[in-house]
Chains A and B, each alone.
Chain A
Amino acid sequence: MEFEEARDFSERCTQCTAVSWGITDEGTYYCTSCLNVTERCKEVESIVDFTPNTKIQAISRGLKKKRKLEKGWEWYVCEGFQYVLYQQAEALLSLGVCPKLKDEVLHNFWKRYLQKSKQAYCRKPIYSNDNKSAASDSHLSLSGLDSEPELLSIRSCPSSEGEAESQSDVNSGLILPNIKTTQCETTSVCSGSVDGVEYSRQKEKGILKMTLPMTLAFCYMSLLWQRETITLSDLLRFVEDGHIPYINTYQNFPEEMKLYGQDIKFFSVESWPVYEDIYEKMIELGKFLDLPRFPDITENCFLHPNMLCMKYLMEANLPDEMHSLTCQVTRITGMGEVDFLTFDPITQKTKTVKYDVQAVAIIVVVLKLLFLLNDNVEWSLSSLAQENNENNHEGKPYFDFRKWYQIMKKIIDEKQQKQEEFRAKYLWKSAKPLYYSSVDRSVVYKRRRMVANLQKQFSILVDSAPNPEKKKPSSFQLNWAEDQNTTCFHGHSLQKILQKKGKSLTTLNSQYWLSTQKFCKSYCKHVTTYEESNFSVSYQFVLNFFSFLLRIKTSLLHEEVSLIEKRLFYKKYENKSKASKSKKARRF
């Protein structure tokens, strides 16, 4: 047992250069061949209590050893990503997410990723060449990494310098074999991390490589697993607004984690994440990790269309009465069913739901049902409502689409302008500039200083008005109930437009047009395409408004609307007239 435990101490004996250590009763190492006793202590605790912890330390072990003076610590690319994930998880927690997300869900996903991508928790990690496999194996078998993964705590990431320092002695016994160290000395010319060059070269099939957008896929997957009240569009919005670290996350790395050369490719990103990209990565990741079916999305979950529709109706300043219609559409299309909504990565035909986009698309469909949105019906209905409201001051006012359009248009134009300015002013470069090789270092730093100086000089010329305070993160971007200056349409009624006839609801508008008639059947990814000029102005506005709200492409929303319409009308069509199939979904 003792011998086994001493295996992770792999330095050569100063007396006989053998690598064969035992542990004395005092906990220090002694050489089994010459009986030379070292001053190094084996931390007994770590065996007894921290067995889980040692494993994660194995991932972050590089953090602990300083290479040479300027070179900083030895660290691995996956450790860098782990650090990013850690920061993101912390940020999510501070947004009020359940703490389990970090310690249990995200942590487990990450562990599984390391295992699946053969970077840790497996018998033969991807980087071990033959000459060092023995050392790695011995190390791994000691920590029991090849056995069933257990629950680990995420404490592996030192959150402060002090902590890192205190741990460095403790873990000095866990450093990598010497062979590895010499090797990384040569590779380090091109990257700060030990395996940066190797990592960028690695192209093994079937292995999903880590990227920065991938960290967001991890976050979103964890949120989805926890069924948190943050949708993907919310997540990306928080990233854009700086509530969740994503761009320049590397600048928060411990100072000893030097980052340059190849590392830049992994940790520097100069664009904001795109909805579809992260969404697809999440599905890919779910499959790669071979995850079980996610917890059911039921009617009580925030992600259920009924809930989300309510939220977006409020945000879009639309009447509450529309909610019953959105619920109807959800029910008819079957999009509210648990099996439809729940993410199950293992099923052969993975179908997934963009919850936020879907909910918004349902609202668009309902708007089309009520007002047709053909640049004609909606305005005449508005005139009716206006007339009624002028003559009738009692009771709920009728919903006036024109008035709504005018108010929303103004708001959205302002918001769009602000967003454009925000984007124009976004500072991408961090105070800690990146360089490809140490030769560039001084130049890059000089440039950085120059820019800082120029910015300082011009700051005198700028109006001294303090910068607007950072927006507090909120799921709502627009708030109507509190704002006294504009009309809040929540309480307005849909009377006249929506009538109860017997057992069914009938819209005054008796027509409908499909957003898409033909769906792409080829292997291209998109369902349909969207060309603005083909559509009515009010439809364009509605799409633009909602896609601005979610910060997605208009075409994505249009696709979703088309898909819902397909379900909505196809069902009816199936039930009633199978004979007239050739006429396409024209009449019901």
Chain B
Amino acid sequence: MDAFSEELMRSVEDDDQVEASIGCGPEIHLPWLSQHLQNTVSHGHKGINFAQTTSICLNFIQEALLKHQWQRASEFLQHYFQALEDFNSQKRQVALQNIWKLGSAILYHHPKSNVETFNAFADRMKNIGVQNYLKISLQHALYLLHKGMVEEAYRNLNQAESWRYGEMSASQEKIIKLIQAYRGLLDYYTWSKKRTELSKFDMDGFATSAATQDMHSYFRQASVNLHEIIKIPGVWDPFVKSYVEMLEFYGDQDGARQVLTDYAYDNNFPSNPNAHIYLYKFLKKEKAPEDKLISVLKILHQIVPSHKIMLEFHMLLRKSKKEEHQKLGLEVLFAVLDFSGCTENITAWKYLAKYLKQIMMEKHLNWVQEGWSSRKDWWPTFHFSYYLAKKNWKENKILALEKAFTSGILLGKGKLSWGHLSGAPSSPDTYTSYLLKISVHSIPLLPPQRTR
């Protein structure tokens, strides 16, 4: 011990001899103590570690992406890659997904990036870990499609489809279906190209039949995959449309109708307005009975009351003989105009004005009352304000006149007025009165005739 200490002590330099002279001077006068503060808990933090680095880094990347700073984002991403080397396999998985998402976003936008870099990146990412191969393949294909590289994308999908690794998990099976469906869609695309080619050029019989056969083989390939995917509950609009188009082309009307009906009416599927529109359009083309058309659109009316096809629906209902339908016709118009996107729809206003007049004539006042009672509180300000009157008159006089007519009926004092009966505000109808005032001034006065 002693030798040890001596040994250590030897290393100490004897520099303590000099007396220090700093710190002398007049003594400080300590001030009063006044305020007191109670203290609570503090939040300590540990030293920066690997996990913190990766999470800070991730934040920086996201921030850079948000601000469209692609260079900065890729700079940080370069440092985020180390998250793939985490000892924790779960964190590695998360990192992998993050990197794929962020990296593909960066490569999509980065000015220095091109298809080759993206391909290299995607191929690399596909081969890290088994679980992401299919997902990344599909997204890769979509990227290629976006760049207009259909053939490349098709090859990619094919490759992904034939990829096998051990037993497939449920999620992988779903993705495989999707991959097949997209491949089917691409087959349809080729089919449709061939069809236009075939119709454009005059070919001799032999060539035509060969081309037709070629086209048909695409149809078969596509239909198998498309048929598969639309059986799974989901929104498959482009798939359904192309499938139906092909069926129609080959004259399978029943098949097409069945597909569309299933797509629209299967309760397992999520509610999808397009499904009903497709069915309606198909039936209309088929010249199906009006009752059938009305029943299809009735559902659409419930889902999307503001859809522009509703005006068509209104015409159908108006023509219908059933009183029930006629009553619904009014409700449909009201519902369309409830939406702010449709407030300046001239046709809707025209229809309403006309239909209101017709209904009044037919003495179905109670229909109007029914529809109006829920709207009387807010329509006047929503549609018939002074401001709107001024605006509409300035921008579109026909619209203004149609509206004025309607407001006259619903609120006003005209001879068709029923407003007083229905308990509508008895204040003067601002919309109409403004228009009246304006029109008086704006009608060019005839030059006074000279009297002799």
Chain A positions within 8 Å of B, measured between CB atoms, are: 100, 104-105, 108, 112, 148-151, 225-227, 270-274, 277, 290-292, 295-296, 298-300, 304, 306, 323-325, 327-332, 336, 369, 374, 420-421, 423-429, 433, 444, 447-448, 450-451, 453-455, 457-463, 500-501, 503-507, 509-518, 528-531, 534-535, 553-555, 558, 568-569, 572, 585-588
Residue in contact with B79 in the complex, picked from A149, A273, A427, A528, CB distance below 8 Å? A427
Residues of A within 8 A of B8 (CB): 104-105, 108, 225, 291-292
Knowing A425-B76, A451-B84, A529-B40, the reply to whether A369 touches B71 (Cβ < 8 A) is: no
In angstroms, Cα B75 to Cα A454, docked, is 12
For residue B20, CB closer than 8 A to chain A, the reply is: yes
B12 touches A534 (CB 8 A): no
Q: Do A568 and B30 form a contact, CB below 8 Å, given A463-B71, A534-B37?
A: yes
Partner of A424, one of B5, B23, B35, B76: B76
> Which of B4, B30, B45, B50 contacts A512 (CB under 8 A)?
B30
Quick check: B36 and A513 within 8 Å, CB to CB?
Answer: yes
Smallest CB separation, A341 vs chain B (Å):
12
Q: A278: nearest residue on chain B (CB-CB)?
A: B47
Using A517-B38, A528-B39 as known contacts, list a sample of 6 further A-B pairs with CB atoms less than 8 Å apart, ordered by residue number in A. Answer: A298-B20, A426-B48, A506-B29, A517-B37, A529-B39, A531-B42
- Of B112-120, B229-237, B365-373, the one touching chain A: B112-120
Q: Tell me, rounded to whole Å, the shortest Cβ–Cβ distance linking B209 to chain A.
A: 50
8 smallest beta-carbon distances between A and B, as pairs: A299-B20, A271-B49, A327-B23, A513-B35, A270-B50, A424-B57, A555-B42, A274-B47
Report Cα–Cα, A330/B23, bound state, in Å. 8
Q: How many B residues touch the partner, as a band?
A: 35 or more
Judge whether A462 and B78 touch: CB under 8 Å. yes
Kindly state the separation between the CA atoms of A323 and B35 in the bound complex, as whole angstroms: 26
CB < 8 Å: which of A298, A330, A514, A530 contacts B36?
A514
Total contacts A-B at CB 8 Å:
244
Q: In the complex, which of the residues A148, A424, A509 has the most CB atoms of chain B within 10 Å of its own CB atom?
A: A424
* A530 / chain B contacts, CB cutoff of 8 Å: 39, 42
**A contact residues around B29 at 8 Å (CB):** 501, 504-507
Instruction: Please report the C-alpha to C-alpha distance between residue A249 and residue B121 in the assembled complex, in whole angstroms.
Output: 32
Contact of A462 among B36, B74, B127 (CB under 8 A): B74
Q: Evaluate whether A104 and B7 lie within 8 angstroms (CB atoms) in the complex, with A327-B22, A424-B53, A500-B26 already known.
A: yes
**B361 contacts chain A at the CB level, 8 A cutoff:** no
B34 CB to nearest chain A CB (Å): 5
| Alpha-carbon separation in the docked complex, A576 to B121 (Å) | 77
Interface string of B12-28 (1 = CB under 8 A from A): 10011011101111111
Which parts of B80-138 form the interface with A (CB within 8 Å)?
A: 81-82, 84-85, 99, 103, 106-107, 110, 112-113, 117, 120-121, 124, 127-128
Chain B nearest CB: distance from A586 CB in Å?
6
A296 to B15, CA, bound (A): 10
Q: Evaluate whether A512 and B46 lie within 8 angstroms (CB atoms) in the complex, with A300-B20, A461-B74 already known.
A: no
Q: Are B82 and A553 in contact (CB under 8 A)?
A: no
Chain B residues with Cβ under 8 A from A306's Cβ? 20, 22-23
Contact across chains for B60 and A447 when beta carbons are under 8 A apart: no
B201 at the interface (CB under 8 A from A): no
Contact between A457 and B28, CB atoms less than 8 A apart:
no
Partner of B11, one of A105, A323, A460, A461: A105
Residue contact A451 to B60, C-beta cutoff 8 Å: no
Q: Does B210 contact A (CB under 8 A)?
A: no
Contact B34 A512 (CB under 8 A): yes
Is A569 within 8 A of B79, CB to CB?
Answer: no
Minimum CB–CB distance from A378 to chain B (whole Å) comes to 14
Contact B40 A572 (CB under 8 A): no
Give the residues in chain A near B113, CB-CB below 8 Å. Answer: 461
Once the chains bind, are B57 and A425 in contact (CB under 8 Å)?
yes
**Quick check: is B3 within 8 A (CB to CB) of the other chain?**
yes
> Contacting A332 at CB < 8 Å: which of B28, B41, B49, B106?
B28
Chain A contacts for B1, CB-based, 8 A: 290
* A553-B45 contact, Cβ under 8 Å, with A369-B31, A429-B85: yes
Contact residue among A295, A423, A535, A568 (Cβ-Cβ distance under 8 Å from B56)? A423
B residues near A424, Cβ cutoff 8 Å? 53, 56-57, 59-60, 76, 79
Residues from chain B with a CB closer than 8 A to the CB of A332 are: 27-28, 30
B37 touches A292 (CB 8 A): no
Residue of B33, B38, B41 with highest tally of chain A CB at under 10 A:
B33
Cβ contacts under 8 Å, B35 to chain A: 374, 511, 513-514
Q: How far does the Cβ of A13 sit from chain B's closest Cβ, in whole Å?
A: 40
A450 touches B84 (CB 8 A): yes
Taking a contact as CB atoms under 8 Å apart, the answer to whether A511 and B32 are in contact is yes
Assuming the A-B contacts A325-B28, A428-B82, are A148 and B3 also in contact, with contact meaning beta carbons closer than 8 angstroms in the complex?
yes
Given the complex, which residues of A lie within 8 Å of B46, measured CB to CB? Answer: 271, 274
Q: B246-265 CB contact bits vs A (8 Å, 1 = yes)?
A: 00000000000000000000
Which residues in B have their C-beta under 8 angstroms from that of A514? 33, 35-37
In the complex, the chain B residue whose C-beta lies closest to that of A100 is: B11
Closest to B6 in A: A292
Task: Indicate if B44 sits at the interface (CB-CB under 8 A).
Answer: yes
B112: chain A residues at CB < 8 Å are 460-461
**Cα(A568)–Cα(B31), bound, Å:** 11
Return the chain B residue nearest A323 by Cβ.
Answer: B22
A residues near B124, Cβ cutoff 8 Å: 450, 453-454, 457
CA distance in complex: A500, B25 (Å): 11
Q: Judging by beta carbons under 8 Å apart, are B60 and A423 in contact?
A: no
Q: Which residues in A have their C-beta under 8 angstroms from that of B4?
A: 108, 112, 149
Contact partners of A298 in chain B: CB under 8 A: 16, 20
> Given A428-B82, A535-B37, are A108 and B7 neighbors across the interface (CB < 8 Å)?
yes
User: What residues of chain A lie closer than 8 Å to B279, measured between beta carbons?
Assistant: none
A272 touches B40 (CB 8 A): no
User: CB-CB < 8 A to B59: which residues of A?
Assistant: 424
Is B77 in contact with chain A by the CB < 8 A criterion? yes
Contact assessment for A555 and B44 in the assembled complex, using a CB-CB cutoff below 8 Å? yes
A104-B7, A300-B16 known; A503 vs B22 contact (CB < 8 Å): no
B47 and A513 within 8 A (CB): no
Q: How far is the CA of A501 from the CA of B77 in the complex (A)?
A: 62
What are 30 A-B contacts defined by CB distance under 8 Å?
Answer: A112-B4, A226-B11, A226-B12, A299-B22, A324-B23, A328-B23, A369-B28, A420-B56, A423-B56, A425-B79, A427-B79, A450-B127, A451-B82, A454-B103, A459-B78, A460-B112, A461-B71, A461-B74, A461-B106, A500-B26, A506-B29, A509-B31, A511-B32, A512-B30, A516-B39, A529-B42, A530-B42, A534-B38, A534-B39, A586-B33
Bound-state CA distance A434–B53 (Å) is: 19
Closest residue of A by beta carbon distance from B71: A463
A452 to chain B, nearest CB (A): 9
Question: Within the complex, what minimum Cβ distance (angstroms) separates B75 from chain A?
Answer: 5
Bound-state CA distance A357–B77 (Å) is 37
Q: How far is the CA of A331 from the CA of B23 in the complex (A)?
A: 8
Q: B321 contacts the other chain (Cβ, under 8 Å)? A: no
The CA of A455 and the CA of B27, in the complex, are separated in Å by 62
B182 to chain A, nearest CB (A): 27
A531 and B43 alpha carbons, distance in the complex (Å): 8
- B278: Cβ under 8 A from any A Cβ: no
Query: A271 near B47 (CB under 8 angstroms)?
Result: yes
Contact assessment for B33 and A104 in the assembled complex, using a CB-CB cutoff below 8 Å: no
**B394 on the interface (CB 8 Å rule)?**
no
Is there contact, CB below 8 Å, between B85 and A447? yes
A132 to B46, CA, bound (A): 44
A461 with B23: CB separation less than 8 A: no
B10 sits at the interface (CB 8 A): yes
Chain A residue nearest to B32 in the complex (CB): A511
B340 to chain A, nearest CB (A): 44
- Asked if B213 is an interface residue, CB under 8 A from chain A, the answer is no
The minimal Cβ–Cβ distance linking A247 to chain B, given in whole angstroms, is 9
State in angstroms the CA–CA spacing of A100 and B22 once bound together: 29
Q: Does B208 contact A (CB under 8 A)?
A: no
**A410–B56 alpha-carbon span in the complex (Å):** 22
In the assembled complex, the CB of A376 is this many whole angstroms from the nearest CB of chain B, namely: 11
